[in-house]
Every structure is written in C-alpha cells, then in structure tokens.
Structure 1
C-alpha cells in the first residue's frame, strides 16, 4: 500500500508536544501536570518544518548544496555550505527571486501566506475555545463566523457600491449617447435639439412608515433570517474559492545540478533556469519561460547547460546567445505515425552520449491519421456531500482483474551534437518493450564516467523475470543481458535496484536480494562474475556514492540496529566497513563528496530532532548541524521517552517494538494497554524507527501514557519492510495471518509489562486498519477493543500495483484476490470496534469500510461497532476532522472500552 503521508496535516507527524496546558474537557480527567493537551500536541500550525532535501556536493567536494527553508517559511530555497570556511549562504529567498517574478505573483504569494497564517491561528483558537466551552467556561463559539460574515457583508457592500457606480456611469454614458444621437438627428432634420431628460425624483417615504405593525415586524425578522442563511451560503462559496492551493505560495527551487569541474550550479525556479557561481552575490537568469523545464546536466567542459522542455532536449551556451535543439521530438523510424515522447534524458559525464527514454501511445493513430482511441483507466466514483446535493467525482483505479494499459517504451542512444551541426537521422531504439496487458518496470539509465557504457534493469512481474542490461556507447548496438534472475528475487527489489558504474568503469554496482536481505552486489564487466559487497543479516539497499578511486562505497544500512540507519563506508575489495554517522541515529537522504571526505544526511533520533548534518568521514571534525527546522516552543518541553524492546515469536523471529510507560509504573501493575500496528511491506516502511514521531503510535501513545496511565506499544510484526525478505514476503497469499500470530505472541508477554491482558486494545491505520480488523475477526478474544482506520477490507478492489506485489498472485480474468476479503470474517467479531474513514479517500476507498460495516450489521453486531467519519477527509483525514479531534475520539473510546489505569 502507499505509505501513509499526513499531507493534510503538514508535518504534524513529526511533532513532539508543546508545554503544559489547560485541562481537557470535563468528561475526561484533568490533564496531568506537565502533560500537553491534545489541541496543543496537534497544533494547527505544525511545530516541525520540512527537512532539507536533494543534498549534493560540488565536484571539488568543497561546497554542499541543498534545498530547505527555515521553520514557518514556504517553499524550499537553495542553500550552499562551504566546508572549508564553515559558512552557509542562502542563495534564494522570496526577496532574492522577487527580481525575477511579476509583481502580481509577488502580491499573490504575500496575500496567500498571510491567509495561511491567519487560518492556522483561527483554527487553533477554535480548538482551544471549544474545549473551554466543554469545560463549562463562558465562550463565544460563533465569534469567528460573526467576524467572517461581517467581513463578507462589507465586501458585498463594497462590491454592490462599485457595481451600482458602474451601472450609474454606464447609464449616464448611454443617456449622453442617446442625447447626442437625438441632437444629431434633429440637426439633420433642421429641428432644434431636444432638451436633456430631467433626473428622476427620489421616491417619497411611505406615510406612516415609522409605525410598524406586528405583521411588518414578522416580515422584517423573516427578511433578516433569510439574509443570514444567504450570507452563510455566500461565505461557503467564498471559502471554497479562496481555498489554498500549492501554487498559491512561494514554491522555492525545484531542482539544481552542479557543474562537472567548476564550483557552480544551475537551478530551476518557476519555469526558469538560473546560474550561481561560488562567491556570486546573486543568481543570474539563463532561461525564462512559462514552460515545464527540467535540468539535465552541464556540458562536458562546463561552457553550457542541457535541459528539457515538454518534448525536446535543448542546450544553451553561457557565452553565446540562443538555444540549440539537441534532440527534436522523437518519431519511431518504422512507423512515422507512432510518436514517442521523451520522458527522461541522461547524459554521460564526458558529454558525448545521451540516453533517451521515451513512451508512445498504446494505440497508434489510424490509417486516416487521426489519433486512435486510447484505453481509459477504470474510474470509480467518490461521493461528495459538501453541497446541497451530493455529487460524484471520479478517480482512476486499476485493480487486479483489469487489463493493463502499459504504454510502449523505447530506449534510444544518441551521440550528443558537438556544435550547431545539421540534424542527423534519428537512429532506431536499442531497446523496446511493447507494453499492453503486462507488468513491466524499468530503472533509470546509468552511464559510465567515461561515457563508454550504460546500464539499466527491467522487471517483468508475470514472468518473474529480472534482467540487468549493459550496452556500449553506440547508437545502433543492442545492450547485453549481464544478469538474469527468474523468480525468488524479492517482491520490491525493482524499487531499489539502481545500477551504477564504479568511476573506473570496470564494475557495475547494484542492489539485489540474493540471500534474503537487500544489499549491494558487484558485477565484474570483464568476466560477468557477481559477488556480494556486504554480508550479514541487515538491510543496505541505498548506495549513496563511490569514491573517485573506485576503492570505497558509501551505503545506508541498519546493521546492528533495525530501528536506525547509518552511513557506512565499505571497502570494495575486502568488504570492511566504517560507520560514518553517530550510532542510534536514523540517516536519510544522504550524499557523499566524490573525494570521500564528507557525507551529508538528515540525521536524528527521539532525543535529538532530525536535521541536516555534515559528517567528516575521517572523524577528525565534529558533525556540523546545518538546519534548524523546529519551532522554538519545543525547547523546554519535558517529554516521556519510549523504551525499545523486542520479543521472539513462535517461529523464532525477533519482533521489534517500543513502549511508553507512565509515571509510577510497576511490573506488578494491571494497567490497560493499546497496541499500534501499521504497514504492510513497501520500500523501507516500518513504525519502529528512532526518528519517527508518528501521530498515533508516538504522539498519542505518549499522551495516553502520561495523561491516563496506559501502557502504549508500537510494534513491527512480520509483514513490514527493512527486516529482510522473510518479513517483507510474509503476507504473500496469507494476508494478515503472520501479523495476527505475532500480535498474539506479543500479548503473551504483556503481563511482564504491568498490563492487564484482558484490557488491551489494538489500533492501526491503512494496512494497519486491515490488520486490526483481521485480528479482531480471526482472534476475537485476543483484544478487548479495536480502532481500525482506513483499512482495505476487499483486496480485489485495491490498487493492483500494491496488491499484486504483496498480497497474492492476480488473475486478470477474475477478481481472485477476493479470497482475502474481510467481509466473510466480520461475523466473528466479539469486542467493540471503531471504524474510521475519510469519505473522500482516493487510496483506500470509503466503500471498504461501508461494506464491512454492512456485514457487521447483518451479523447483529450493532452494539459492538461504530463509525467515525470525516465527510471531507481523504486517506489521512484532514477534512472536517483534524488530528486533535480524531484523537479525542480515540481517547474517549479507549477510556470507555478499556477503563482507567486504576480500574481492575
């Protein structure tokens, strides 16, 4: 399944908490001293900004560039750190880029930023006021609507006055024109000009108007009532019109590319390309368009730059005016009507060769030259109830029994023109795939440093066929298969199998799952021999870089701690490793300088918030922290810290978890507990990560321990990623079963945690929502209650890119994944279950919850099941229901079904 991204919550998933606050509503116990309230924990404005991204070193290794903006600022600006002087320079900002933006755009950015900040403040004020009202305090809950309606009245009045003035001006102009035409006609007829029409006299006041009858009073009141609901309708329309869109705010820089030799770069900002050189005071504009531009690379001698628009590859020179078309729009040589569209261009570092990855329509134009009808993806309807009448919106959906519509793909290898030469004939593609009703995936193309070779990989799901190709720099030569694996290659290898050449061009390095763990391997290009570069029971599927001498490799690996990820330097000959970052930190988005002296990565843990750090590989210099992404309001907060633990399941597997224990906890206690479980396998997703402040598992778990004395646990049963293939493949054709076994084994250990095993609840979201239901239905006496959020209950209706990779083998002639449906199991429910879903969810459709809810009702479970819905929410809610609100619902449910900490 798609990883859960709390897009609508900003970065609330990374929030820790705020300082001590006011008590909760009257129906819950007073907030314990030092415990923040839920409206403080899930504040409207995120406490956490965005992490730095796309870090990359200049060729010399002296400069590190990255995209980031300080807390509270929109967009991602370009920053450059000088490793020699220790100075960091902000290259772009709204003020700097104002020199290249239209005044209208600047005004919109400023206005919309103010609107965003106002919305944050108002939403937070409403949350606080509502809780004060529930405590019995005197609060005017209508003050925000009243203020908004007053503002709207003034806007409408101003608009009416403006419209009336315009109408009067238009009428005066029309009258004058009419008088002039009448005078012209009179003059032509030899008659005197007619006199101007007299202005209309104002209507006289009605007699006795000051004496109102009872009937008139009622009519006036009715008119006022009508005005209020009409104004509310107008306000609703206004809010819909003015709803913030991503394009409303200053976007910052989209991407950048360093030069091959010089300490300079080119970056993209809003349809334009800009150049910055070390020591420049400001960037210089190169190309300014309103088109979708993508940076590609500097030319080999750094005298120019190559980029793409929607269809072509283009080159500009820094010294000469004009833009040269390096590659025009592609046409298939065997069928001139079958046009391929360039999707990706990769240029070799020596600048002599380029690869063009292109796709064509599935069906070519007909004999008449008219475009053929292309297959349309399945569309499902999602109902929207926000207007007077419900309306359906359509979203694309490809399920397991759909015929696939994979577009044909072609790979071209072309020599880069050396100058303003005449266009040469387009060569035939060196590799093609026909597309159609198949699952076909292809990696990016990688070039050897000297431009002599290129490499890529393909994965054909139905054939279970993985291939690695290496080709020569030749426009017509077909690439050679240097490695082939059929079956037993790991369900998600293709996502991380990214080939790259060592700088000497002798070896191809790529990630494989040959021994049950995703780790780097090397293919000797002379002998085609394959050898592992690392060994051990750990994941190391992200190769960060290679040193220029081809002797060392840098990888991210969780060796020694599955909840952390460190940067390791690996000797390519011996396999010896050196940890670069601090142990116990999770390193993400790492980059390494080509000289092997520096590594940059976002790194942190539960005690130290993740920030971009510069790490000296030789360890002689202390790590430098380059960003500060959190609100300063967090500085003095006293927080509970989770306790890591692990247990062994019935199969001898080590299962990782963490727990929050409340103050005064003793092993002999009989406390209620809540267990949180989340994802099925996907890339490297799991919950037990030392830098993850996930909203429910971490933040709400911490709150329930501190405020109500619960023991709260987050666990990674089999089925998660980053624990090796045994875990990631665990769900295959037995979805939910291995997790349920592990959860049962966890419950058996809980008496040692001071927990009353008769009062343990289970909670999960997305795949975890499925898992919660599966466990509640198949092991109905194991948990005392459950909360299942946005869970897919019918796998035959889920996106096949995921279900066909992780749940079971599909049959596109029938919905055979129905065998994993939860609907037939729902009748077994014995304990209370809260189903949570966003009704506008395009990922896990709301119908999944509706259908299982129906089955529960049919089975007579009315007293056990309840619904909590967000009418406007998507997969992470965030519509009418905000994080504080849905966790208040959770809090009330757990207290009602599991009791308080002192209950026995």
Structure 2
C-alpha cells in the first residue's frame, strides 16, 4: 500500500480514520552507495532552521504577524502576512534595524556571524577528514590547528610590535620629560641647560626589531595561547543579530508595537519601516496597547509603565508596595497583569523570608559542584539543586487587585491583598491571573503538592453599567480609566473548584485559566476523566462542564470566536502521534478538524473573527512550516515559511512506518520502525529499540514531526546502512496518552515500561523479522534510567544496551520533577532512594555502554559514576564501558558532537549485535 497523504483539512471522522491506516509502508530503501554518512546526517550546520514563533492575528483578522528568519539567518525578525492580498512583508531585518543600531554592534554581529559559519565549515571538514583517515586515506589531521596557530602567531607578532612601539614611545616621552624638568631646574638655578645624554638618545632611537628580547614561543605555549583565544572568542547568544523579541497588536487598529534590543518600535499596516518609540538599556517588554490604541503599556524588570504616542513622559502604574509597619517584609512585585479594557490590574508579589532575628532565610536547596577538567588543575562550578528531602523556603506571597489610575490621577491609598500564602516549608504554586475582557472578573489557580490540592478562584471587580464604554476615546483618560470610586479592591476571590488527590500529576502545569470573550465562562484544563481536556466553569452559577469528550488530550486552548460560541483547541483526537487544530462548539462539544490530518500542529493562533488560523505544521514527509488555514470549510491552506535546507532531500533516504501493539494490560502502545531494504518477515535481523518512558509534559517520542537524533536520524542510518530493524516506542509513562500513562511511574518507576518492552520483544521475531537474541535497548535521560532498569531487572531480555545521562539515584534529582512523577517524598530523609538503580546493578548480564556529559547540570555525572562503581563492585567490569564528554552537558555538545556520539553507538551495536544477514 502506498503512503497515504491528505492535502486538505477534513472532518474529525477523517482524522479518526487514521488509526485504520497503520502501519504504512516505508518508502523505497536506498542502495548502500546512496546512504549518507553519519557526518552528512549530523552535519555541523543543521539542516533545519528555526520554526516561526508567536504567530498572532490583528484584531481585524486581516494581518498575521510572526517572528521567523529564513534558513541560515540568525535571529527572528518580524513578518506580516496580508490575508487579503496574499503578500508577506518582512518588517525588520539587519538592514532595516541598522538605522537604530550603533555601528560597533553592527560590526560585531557581522564578525560573529562569519565566525559561526567558519566554525561550522571547519567542524564539518574535520569530521569528514577524521573518517577518511580511519579509512586509510592520507589526511593531515593537524591542518586546522596549524592554520589556527599561524594566524595566532601573526596576531601575537602584531600585538608585540604594537606594544613595543608603545613602550618605545612611552620611554621617549619619559626621557623628554626628564630633560624638560632638568632644563627647568637649570634655568631656575641660572645654569645652562644640560645636553641630552648619548645613552638616552641611543635608547630613544633604538629599534626593537634589531634584536629579540624573547625567544619565539614553543609550540606547547602557542597551543595554550590558542586555547585561551578560543575561550575568549566563544560564541554567545548575544553575539549574533537577535531580531525581534516580542510584539503586541493594537486592540482595534491594524498596527503593532515590538521590542528589539532594549527599544520599542511601532509599525502600522502599509508602513515601509518601523518607527522608534522608546530606547533604553533596560529589558523592556510590551504589555498591551491602551484601550483607545493611543498609547502603550509596557514594563521593565518589575515596573509597569504607560506612555502616550503624542505626549512625552511615562507614568508608573504598579506603584511600589509599601508596608510601613514592617519595612523589612516589603513585598516585591513579580508579575503584573492588566485587563484588556485597561481598567484593572493584578499584582503578584512576594516578600523575603526572615528568621526570628530578622535575617533572610537562605533559599531552598543546595549548591552542587560540577568539576571542570579543562584547565591544568580541575576547578569546580556550582549549580542549584533542590531535592525532595530539602526543606523549602517559599517566600510569602500576596495578590493585590488595583484599579488602573487615570492619567495624571493622584496616587490612591494602597489596598490590602485579596489573597495571601504564608510560604515556608511547603510546595505551593500559583498560576498567572487571568482577566475577563471587561475587567469584571479575574481568576487564578493554586496547587499544594503535599496536600495534593488543586483550587480555582474567581474574583469580581465593580461591573460596568450597561452601555458604558470601556474607556473614553481621546484625552488623557483614554490611557486607562480606572474608576475613582468602585467596589472594594480588597474583596476576596471565591473558591469555585477544589480537587484533592485525584487530579493527575501532569495537569498542574497546563491548567492556565482564561475567560471566554463574553466573560461568562472560565475555561481551563483539568484531568477529570483520565485525560487533560478543556472544561468550563460558569461564572454566574459556578457549574463545571466538559467542553470535549473522548479519550484524547485537548488541553491547549488557542482562542474563541468573538461570540463565545466556539473554541479552538489543539488535540490529538484520532492520532496520538499527531496534533490537530479543532474548532469546538461550546454547547454541543462537536469538533471540526481544521488542519491536515497526519500533521503535528504547534504554536497555533486564531483570528478574533474566527475566519483564519495559523500553526507550525508538518510531518516526516513534509517538515513543519508555518501554515495559514482558512476556517471556512473550504480547506484552503498556504505555507508562509521555508525553514529547511534543500540539501536535506539527499539525507532523507528512508522513512519509518507507524505501528502499535497491545501490552499485557490491553493498553495500546505506539511506535515506529525503520525497515531496511530487502526486509522479509522471515528474516532474523538485529534490532535496536529506542525508549524514553517518562512524562514530558506535552511531548513524547512517537510524533510525526519529530526528527530526534537517535530514535529517528540514527535509526534511519542503521536501517539503511547496516540492515538493522530500528524501532522507537512510547510505553506507559509518557505524556499525551492520558493519565493512565503519565501516572504509570508513580511509586514504581521503570516497571510498567519494562513490562511493555517485554511484550514488544515477544512480537519482534514474527512481526518484524528480528532475531530475538540480537535486540538492543537505547535511551537518554529518563530513557537512560529506563534502559538500565530493564537490563538490570530483566537481564536476558536485551542483548546489549546504551544508557545516556540516566538518573540512577532519584533522591538526587530535581524535586520539581521527581516529586510529582515518582512518588511521595519526605523532607526529613531521601525517601526516593528506594528507587535507586545501584542495588539493582548486580543483575546485569549483557554489555552496557554508559554515556554522560561530565558537566551535566541536569542529571549529574555522579549518577553515572556511582552506578559504574556499583557495576564494578559486582564484577561487571567485562560488560560495562564508559563514553564521556568532558565538556558536555545534558545533551552533550562539548567535544563530543552528534556524529562522533553516534559513531560510538554504531561500533557498539555492530560489535554486540553483529551484522544483518547478507
């Protein structure tokens, strides 16, 4: 059967039908000669540029703005697409923004861009040369160092000549000063001026080039100098042209304000270039336009400010919080949110924790040292680490509700907070405040981990009388019209929903409440039926109702129609490996798929009139691009970006097939497989299974737009080059498959995944043409833990394993993850030690490669050291080997680059699993 593709958006029924189309056949496999090398697949310059970001429509729906730059260009510039004419305008670029930049910064951007491109080219050339050398070709592997040292020697010589000239000039100036002072003294004494000494004259005219003060540096000295130079010139994110950081559309007009390098700029439809508004050295951020679009609200690190386009000066809106009775405990504003009508704002603030003597309580957690072996003597750097048995020191929290002052209005007395939390040794989280458009209501959620308590609050402000405009048009008051006399700003919000215990561990971070445009419903994500989905709370009655029904994830609400009758949401209904954009009827729950089935849609946006949508969408066959989707049932789409190098086509030689199987409990486990050329069901080929197995909030491995380095790219290579069967699966433990999966690790991490892997291995010989005695297991991070757990507890299941950066001692991992993923914790002792892999290591029977970056701040390198020690102590030395990146972090990236990393994998698998049958 040929691969099935869909060119147009369809109904939900069509999306649901995808499951019946699996597995799909792989494309025709290439010949051995056409298979790219690892150095080509993991090219120094990525084949993929950045995705479009922050797509948003103007109020009219005519214009779509987004941040993006074409392949190879740094930064993310502002682009605007006109849905009426079909034209796209690039609003910013290095050339456009040069009008507002210092020449020195422009020169630095240009210099560093050339450095980046040179480094990519040299790294690619080195990696190709290294493989040629191993094949026996005559290659000078020192040519890059030799060239770099020659350049360095010239730089050092130029610097020395400059220094010598300056020294000679300084010496001559000192001698002249000496003679002048001597002449002055002689004149005052009535004596003739002394003649310049011959020695001084000789010294002044001495040419340093006639002799060498120092002998030429030795090669080892030059190498040390080169190392220092490379460290000084190492590229930093701020070295390259950044583009636009963020933008905000006006409430009504087709115009926007964007932030670029500490400045704010305004662009109006049909403008050829942006106009500067505010330029500072602070980190500014646009909050919103004023209600009448005559000015903007923006903020720096903590202050929210208001400015008018036709007037000079700014006004601070969120005045400092003052507590005269206890100055030391003054609350500091951390987040400010202003209602869309500009009338109300919320201030979330925290105060320092003080002990009985009034001294600050240290922050929670500890500092963990990570060793750096790059210098002659090892040095240590410290990283923050809060583990489950650390006492916490959460700061006291307060929420204030304030009416936004009118322009020029005298400050009013500060109100008392409407909500507080004492902080301390607790795990307490609070969402950002959401406002109804008219400022009549606000909402937020809280989560208390120890109590397993999720709460939702709704607060009310003074309602605007019917027919009253949101704000006066024109005049100073048009920049915000908070009422002088209003409902009590200290009125407490009402607790409208409470869930204790049965909330789902992965729902807390995606609750994100928001009001419908009419303000009648509060929409938020809950896990009431085993799936994270959108629910609505009626603001008037407090009644809760689901907005969608079915066994799928649908928690990311993109927007609503202006009449509040429909909602737009991203959901994986019908295909858990994809994510589509759906229009949902708020009354009936009926769903209409807007994007093409079989594509993963991310970062979606919908116009306020409900006519247009946009999302980064694609799959393995068509890499993701920003697509404009007409929401009118005519299934029209337009692709607005081009983010992939055309050379990718030469590397894209084999694509996977989707498959699924049922585990022993009846759960559906998703996967994909690369089958090599000439594959037959009767084969007995070696195989490798890639696994992760832990919650990733909104990600998993089997996604149709994911080109993960090891699971996908290396899997493609091993199948095409060596005839291996390469699989990737999502066992229980992953996110986006419902609570049954995401909660699977609770109190027994690794065991559900090991069961699912065991069930998979039973299927491999008959269904995938695999030799059951030659199956390897591979995973990274949680997958590195999972690989080890499975090989220690089921030592005969896999013939070999590769475990990358696996957390082997969960009591040492970050509490924010382990405390909500693995099991209940105790402050008094490292209770998560019961999940340590060290006591299990003695069960290993088959070869195991442990991989880690030695400067990993996430999963500490000590985890691999300690499990390696346990393996050695139990006599496993012949079975285990280490592959380390001395400079690498959690994804490596130090001296070990992806091609090198996977060369090691290739050699390990060929050595331990053997070659495929001829």
Considering the TM-score relative to the shorter chain, is it more than 0.5?
yes
What is the aligned partner in structure 2 of residue 50 from structure 1? 50
Residue 638 of structure 1 deviates from its aligned partner by 5.2
* Pick aligned residue for 1:781 from 790, 793, 796: 796
1:326-368 per-residue CA deviation (whole Å, 9 max, x = no partner) reads: 122223465333222222221111111111112222228966x
What is the aligned partner in structure 2 of residue 393 from structure 1? 381
* Pick aligned residue for 2:448 from 442, 460, 481: 460
What is the aligned partner in structure 2 of residue 539 from structure 1? 553
Report the TM-score when normalising by structure 1: 0.93
Mapped to 1, the partners of 2:327 and 2:187 lie a distance apart of 71
Do 1:599 and 1:617's aligned partners in 2 also have CA atoms closer than 8 Å? Answer: yes
| 5+ residue gaps, structure 2 | 1-28, 462-487
Mapped to 1, the partners of 2:404 and 2:206 lie a distance apart of 82
Do 1:365 and 1:372's aligned partners in 2 also have CA atoms closer than 8 Å? Answer: no
Mapped to 1, the partners of 2:545 and 2:153 lie a distance apart of 74
Mapped to 1, the partners of 2:884 and 2:215 lie a distance apart of 36
Do 2:594 and 2:635's aligned partners in 1 also have CA atoms closer than 8 Å? Answer: no
What is the aligned partner in structure 2 of residue 138 from structure 1? 138
Greater shift in the superposed pair: 337-346 or 475-484: 337-346
What is the aligned partner in structure 2 of residue 800 from structure 1? 815
Mapped to 2, the partners of 1:373 and 1:858 lie a distance apart of 42
Say if 2:437 is the partner of 1:449. Answer: yes
Mapped to 1, the partners of 2:890 and 2:425 lie a distance apart of 29
Residue 561 of structure 1 deviates from its aligned partner by 0.4
Mapped to 1, the partners of 2:207 and 2:67 lie a distance apart of 69
Q: 1:440 to 1:334 in 2, by over 3 A?
A: farther
What is the aligned partner in structure 1 of residue 220 from structure 2? 229
1:182-201 per-residue CA deviation (whole Å, 9 max, x = no partner) reads: 00111111111111122338
What is the aligned partner in structure 2 of residue 409 from structure 1? 397
SS at match of 1:608: coil
What is the aligned partner in structure 1 of residue 877 from structure 2? 862
What is the aligned partner in structure 2 of residue 8 from structure 1? none
Mapped to 2, the partners of 1:539 and 1:184 lie a distance apart of 91
What is the aligned partner in structure 2 of residue 699 from structure 1? 713
Say if 2:504 is the partner of 1:504. Answer: no
Mapped to 1, the partners of 2:752 and 2:221 lie a distance apart of 56
Q: CA RMSD in A?
A: 1.9
Mapped to 2, the partners of 1:869 and 1:711 lie a distance apart of 27
Do 1:337 and 1:364's aligned partners in 2 also have CA atoms closer than 8 Å? Answer: no
Q: 1:636 to 1:735 in 2, by over 3 A?
A: closer
Mapped to 2, the partners of 1:622 and 1:865 lie a distance apart of 56
What is the aligned partner in structure 2 of residue 767 from structure 1? 782
What is the aligned partner in structure 1 of residue 180 from structure 2? 180
Mapped to 2, the partners of 1:242 and 1:840 lie a distance apart of 20
What is the aligned partner in structure 2 of residue 254 from structure 1? 245
* Pick aligned residue for 2:417 from 424, 429, 442: 429
Q: 1:556 to 1:621 in 2, by over 3 A?
A: closer
Mapped to 2, the partners of 1:789 and 1:291 lie a distance apart of 41
Mapped to 2, the partners of 1:802 and 1:664 lie a distance apart of 44
Do 2:36 and 2:651's aligned partners in 1 also have CA atoms closer than 8 Å? Answer: no
* Pick aligned residue for 1:200 from 190, 196, 202: 202
Q: 1:638 to 1:180 in 2, by over 3 A?
A: closer
What is the aligned partner in structure 1 of residue 912 from structure 2? 897
What is the aligned partner in structure 2 of residue 313 from structure 1? 304
Mapped to 1, the partners of 2:297 and 2:660 lie a distance apart of 52
Mapped to 2, the partners of 1:828 and 1:621 lie a distance apart of 57
1:673-716 per-residue CA deviation (whole Å, 9 max, x = no partner) reads: 00000140131221000000000000000000000000000000
Do 2:68 and 2:78's aligned partners in 1 also have CA atoms closer than 8 Å? Answer: yes
Residue 621 of structure 1 deviates from its aligned partner by 5.5
1:304-332 per-residue CA deviation (whole Å, 9 max, x = no partner) reads: 11111123211000011111111222234
Do 1:333 and 1:427's aligned partners in 2 also have CA atoms closer than 8 Å? Answer: no
SS at match of 1:831: coil
Do 2:48 and 2:643's aligned partners in 1 also have CA atoms closer than 8 Å? Answer: yes
* Pick aligned residue for 1:420 from 396, 408, 428: 408
Do 1:39 and 1:128's aligned partners in 2 also have CA atoms closer than 8 Å? Answer: yes
What is the aligned partner in structure 2 of residue 238 from structure 1? 229
SS at match of 1:133: helix
Say if 2:269 is the partner of 1:278. Answer: yes
Residue 635 of structure 1 deviates from its aligned partner by 3.8
Mapped to 1, the partners of 2:639 and 2:172 lie a distance apart of 69
Mapped to 1, the partners of 2:520 and 2:445 lie a distance apart of 18
What is the aligned partner in structure 1 of residue 830 from structure 2? 815
What is the aligned partner in structure 2 of residue 472 from structure 1? 460
1:801-842 per-residue CA deviation (whole Å, 9 max, x = no partner) reads: 000000110001000100000000000100000000000000
Say if 2:838 is the partner of 1:838. Answer: no
Mapped to 1, the partners of 2:795 and 2:325 lie a distance apart of 63
| 5+ residue gaps, structure 1 | 1-19, 22-30, 210-219
Do 2:506 and 2:735's aligned partners in 1 also have CA atoms closer than 8 Å? Answer: no
What is the aligned partner in structure 1 of residue 581 from structure 2? 567
SS at match of 2:33: coil
What is the aligned partner in structure 2 of residue 90 from structure 1? 90
Residue 32 of structure 1 deviates from its aligned partner by 1.4
Mapped to 1, the partners of 2:355 and 2:584 lie a distance apart of 49
Mapped to 2, the partners of 1:204 and 1:587 lie a distance apart of 71
Mapped to 2, the partners of 1:132 and 1:744 lie a distance apart of 40
SS at match of 2:218: helix
SS at match of 1:327: coil
**1:309-708 maps to which residues of 2 (within 5 A)?**
309-332=300-323, 335-363=326-354, 372=360, 374-375=362-363, 377-473=365-461, 474-620=488-634, 622-635=636-649, 639-708=653-722
Mapped to 2, the partners of 1:108 and 1:638 lie a distance apart of 36
SS at match of 2:744: coil
Q: 1:697 to 1:587 in 2, by over 3 A?
A: same
1:614-673 per-residue CA deviation (whole Å, 9 max, x = no partner) reads: 001113252110100011212455521100000000001000000000000000000000
Greater shift in the superposed pair: 589-598 or 401-410: 401-410
* Pick aligned residue for 1:884 from 884, 899, 907: 899
Residue 506 of structure 1 deviates from its aligned partner by 1.1
1:116-146 per-residue CA deviation (whole Å, 9 max, x = no partner) reads: 1110000001001111111111111111101
Mapped to 2, the partners of 1:847 and 1:563 lie a distance apart of 35
What is the aligned partner in structure 2 of residue 25 from structure 1? none
Mapped to 2, the partners of 1:515 and 1:299 lie a distance apart of 41
Residue 377 of structure 1 deviates from its aligned partner by 3.5
Mapped to 2, the partners of 1:46 and 1:469 lie a distance apart of 46
Say if 2:288 is the partner of 1:290. Answer: no
What is the aligned partner in structure 2 of residue 300 from structure 1? 291
What is the aligned partner in structure 1 of residue 99 from structure 2? 99
Q: 1:439 to 1:372 in 2, by over 3 A?
A: closer
Mapped to 2, the partners of 1:203 and 1:560 lie a distance apart of 86
Residue 287 of structure 1 deviates from its aligned partner by 0.8
Mapped to 1, the partners of 2:847 and 2:567 lie a distance apart of 53
Do 1:455 and 1:469's aligned partners in 2 also have CA atoms closer than 8 Å? Answer: yes
Do 1:361 and 1:374's aligned partners in 2 also have CA atoms closer than 8 Å? Answer: no
Mapped to 1, the partners of 2:749 and 2:231 lie a distance apart of 41
Mapped to 2, the partners of 1:254 and 1:710 lie a distance apart of 45
SS at match of 1:837: strand
Do 1:763 and 1:787's aligned partners in 2 also have CA atoms closer than 8 Å? Answer: yes
